[in-house]
Amino acid sequence: MFFCFALSAMLFAPCFSAEAQQARKIFRIGFLDPSTVSGSAAILETFRQELRKLGWVEGKNISIEYRFAEQKNDRMRELAAELVRLNVDLIVTSGNPTALEAKKATSTIPIVMVISGDPVGLGLVASLGRPGGNVTGMSTLAVELNTKKLEILKDAIPKLDRVGLLQGSSYNPGVEQQLKELRVAAPALKVKLEEIKTEFDPQSLETAFKTAKQKQVKAIMTTSTRNFLAARKQIVELAGKYQLPGIYGRKEYVDEGGLMSYGSGYDEEYRKAAYYVDKILKGAKPADLPVQQATKFQFVINLKAAKQIGLTIPNRVLERANQVIR
Domain ranges of the chain: 25-140+266-293, 142-263+298-325
The two domains 25-140+266-293 and 142-263+298-325 share their CATH topology (first three levels equal)? yes
- Domain 142-263+298-325 class? alpha beta
CA 269 to chain centre: 8
pLDDT recorded at residue 23: 54
pLDDT recorded at residue 266: 76
Measured between alpha carbons, how far is residue 66 from residues 56, 69, 97, 232, 255 in Å?
16, 10, 16, 21, 26
- Domain 25-140+266-293 class? alpha beta
Distance separating alpha carbons of residues 177 and 244, to the nearest angstrom: 25
Neighbours of 304 (CB within 10 A): 12
Write down the pTM of the prediction. Answer: 0.81
Contact 231, 205 (CB under 8 A): yes
Distance separating alpha carbons of residues 293 and 115, to the nearest angstrom: 10
Residues of the chain predicted below pLDDT 70:
1-24
Contact 165, 220 (CB under 8 A): yes
Residues 246-256 pLDDT 10s: 999 989 899 99
